[in-house]
Amino acid sequence: MHEMGIAQELVKIALDALPEDLENPQVASLHLKIGKLSSVVPHSLTFCFEIITKDTPLENARLEIETIPVRIRCTGCGREWETDTPVFRCPDCEQGQIQMLSGREVEIVSLELME
């Protein structure tokens, strides 16, 4: 389950982002962007997150996961499109020289502290 590694990485980034002058900060929610091709299962990620954030400022923080579609650009004709399937061939010029613009990211967009 590679979600555990990803969850650990996200928790580390989130903890580093907390203001140092705050006493007992508590995170209310964490907004994530997860690309469809990152092969992260949101349910598994949430599960791992809950385990490793116990007794940290992130304990009980709500995970808000936004799924990012896969966007492809053809380097031949410049056409851009979204896809759900890993078939990367331009529907216009049918060449296979493509660039992936989004779809693999796993990142923290924002973090909300408890009042």
Contacting residues toward Zn ion, per CB under 5 A: 74, 76-77, 79, 90, 92-93
Residue with Cβ nearer Zn ion (7 or 74): 74
Query: Least distance from C-beta 68 to Zn ion, angstroms?
Result: 22
Query: Least distance from C-beta 90 to Zn ion, angstroms?
Result: 3
Inter-residue contact 62 to 114 (CB < 8 Å) = no
Residue with Cβ nearer Zn ion (39 or 75): 75
Residue with Cβ nearer Zn ion (67 or 97): 97
Q: What DSSP assignment string belongs to 8-29?
A: HHHHHHHHHHS-TT-SS--EEE
Give the span between the Cα atoms of 108 and 32, in whole angstroms: 5
Give the span between the Cα atoms of 29 and 50, in whole angstroms: 12
Query: Least distance from C-beta 70 to Zn ion, angstroms?
Result: 16
